[in-house]
Amino acid sequence: MAETAAPKVAPDERLVRVGPLAGLLTRPDIGAFLGAVAVFFAFGYFARSVNWIGDPGIAAGWTDQAAQYGIVAVPVALLMIGGEFDLSAGVMIGSSGLLLGYLTTFKHMNVWPAMVLVLVFGLVIGLINGLTVVRTRLPSFIVTLATFFVLQGVNAAGTLKLTGQTAIQDIDTARGFNSARRIFAGDLTHYGFKVKVLWWIGITLTGAWLLAKTRFGNWIYSAGGEPNAARNVGVPVARTKIALFMMTSTIASLMGIIEALELRSMQAKEGIGLEFIFIICAVVGGCLLTGGFGSVIGTLFGAAMLGMVQLGIIDAQWDSNWTFTFQGGILFAAVMLNTLIRSRAQKAR
């Protein structure tokens, strides 16, 4: 208040005092948060026979599943806020895990340098996606759909040619496997919580910080919200988008590494289908399909919700085929709720 030289000071008479609750209800991530709480307590009831609420071992299960979704959902959300999609984010998990398997079991590389090569592979695929979208001005939906199908074929044909099977096995025979597994895919000391969960939280917090507190975050919002305006005031929109594509496929590669180390083998069809789960997490988390608006913290709650549904349905002893129906229902409800919240955020302020 002290910084204004103008006569006007302190509370503006045109500002209706909003209570903390009403203020909270304009945040983009609040819908996902409330949804996650609701799903948690719903399974607290339906899965009460396994002590859903009280048993940390149960929580270890669904957080593992949520991390599986949530890690890659973070860059997918940022990319979506930046106005683009990446449909190759799922298949990249498979490609990267297979590449790690190939380098370690067929080329006899140590796991650590092999991981570096896999991450470089992620950067390159992201660069290709990004450059193609920026240069051709084609919708990223189409460009990355093409990448998706190309990689899907490579994964299947390559694995079959190498192994004569549909998976690369015995990744745990590689040098450096144990030390790498401890850091990327090990267990924490208590209750069987996975290290992966820490990666999920860490990547989420980094993404949220990047979006809210850095110059790059400002550029992401503007690149998705009104790219022309952003360009006219000097935002390097193309570079911002390319960086986002590179982040997305590199973190998908990280996820591929985590899975390969965790499972000790990699299926050729791994990751396929997850690209839509990531988008659901982001949308549930408050990201707008048209870009320019969204939340990384909300995406974390979206992933938590989907993780809970996945395991809750099993723990409640329902037919797990209902999972998809639930995911669809959550997506629909979340979109409705978020639309409501957003219109409040824009009008009621």
Partner 1 sequence: MTMAHLLEADHISKYYGNIVALNDISTYVDAGEVTCILGDNGAGKSSFIKILSGVHQADKGRLLVEGEEVHFTSPRDARAAGIATVYQDLAMVPLMSIWRNFFLGAEPRKGFGPLQWFDSGKAKSIVRRELSEMGIDIRDPDQAVGTLSGGERQSVAIARAVYFGARVLILDEPTSALGVKQAGVVLKYILQARERGVAVIFITHNPHHAYPVGDRFVILNRGQSLGAFEKSEIDRQELVRLMAGGKELAELEHELEAIKVEV
Applying CB under 8 A, does 205 fall inside the site for partner 1? no
CA dist 86 and 55 (Å) reads 36
CA dist 233 and 156 (Å) reads 46
The number of angstroms, rounded, from the C-alpha of 347 to the middle of its chain's C-alpha atoms is 29
Main-chain phi, psi angles of 147, to 5 degrees = -55, -45
Q: Which of 58, 109, 230, 341 binds partner 1 (CB under 8 A)?
A: 230
Applying CB under 8 A, does 226 fall inside the site for partner 1? yes
Nearer Cβ to partner 1 (214/325) = 214
Q: Which of 10, 14, 161, 321 binds partner 1 (CB under 8 A)?
A: 14
Applying CB under 8 A, does 3 fall inside the site for partner 1? yes
Residue 84 vs residues 26, 133, 307: alpha-carbon distances, Å: 24, 9, 25
Applying CB under 8 A, does 346 fall inside the site for partner 1? yes
Applying CB under 8 A, does 90 fall inside the site for partner 1? no
Q: Which of 61, 217, 286, 298 binds partner 1 (CB under 8 A)?
A: 217
Applying CB under 8 A, does 19 fall inside the site for partner 1? no
Nearer Cβ to partner 1 (8/161) = 8
Applying CB under 8 A, does 215 fall inside the site for partner 1? yes
* Number of residues located near partner 1, criterion CB under 8 A: 35
Question: Which segment (158-166, 189-197, 231-239, 252-260) binds partner 1 by CB under 8 A?
Answer: 231-239
Applying CB under 8 A, does 10 fall inside the site for partner 1? no
Applying CB under 8 A, does 319 fall inside the site for partner 1? no
CB of 27 to partner 1, least distance (A): 12
CB of 127 to partner 1, least distance (A): 21
Question: Which segment (161-169, 174-182, 224-232, 241-249) binds partner 1 by CB under 8 A?
Answer: 224-232
Residue 37 vs residues 94, 200, 278: alpha-carbon distances, Å: 32, 19, 20
The number of angstroms, rounded, from the C-alpha of 143 to the middle of its chain's C-alpha atoms is 19
Applying CB under 8 A, does 137 fall inside the site for partner 1? no
**Counts of helices then strands in the chain (DSSP H, E):** 14, 2
At position 93, the amino acid (one-letter code) is I
In order, the DSSP letters of 178-220 are HHHHHHHH-B-SSTT-BHHHHHHHHHHHHHHHHHHHSHHHHHH
Applying CB under 8 A, does 187 fall inside the site for partner 1? no
Question: Which segment (36-44, 220-228, 270-278, 321-329) binds partner 1 by CB under 8 A?
Answer: 220-228
Nearer Cβ to partner 1 (217/271) = 217
For tokens 């085929």, the residue is 321
Question: Which segment (117-125, 219-227, 268-276, 321-329) binds partner 1 by CB under 8 A?
Answer: 219-227
For tokens 């993780």, the residue is 307
CA dist 249 and 255 (Å) reads 10
**Tokens (6 digits) for 178:** 């144990």
Question: Which segment (92-100, 130-138, 152-160, 222-230) binds partner 1 by CB under 8 A?
Answer: 222-230
Applying CB under 8 A, does 234 fall inside the site for partner 1? yes
Greatest Cα-to-Cα distance within the chain, rounded to the nearest angstrom: 79
For Cα atoms 29, 35, 40, give the angle at the middle one, nearest 5 degrees: 130
Residue 158 vs residues 150, 151, 329: alpha-carbon distances, Å: 12, 10, 37
At position 219, the amino acid (one-letter code) is W
Applying CB under 8 A, does 221 fall inside the site for partner 1? yes
Q: Which of 292, 298, 302, 307 binds partner 1 (CB under 8 A)?
A: 292
Binding site for partner 1 (CB under 8 A): 3-6, 8, 12, 14-15, 209, 213-215, 217-219, 221-222, 225-226, 228-236, 288, 292-293, 345-347, 349
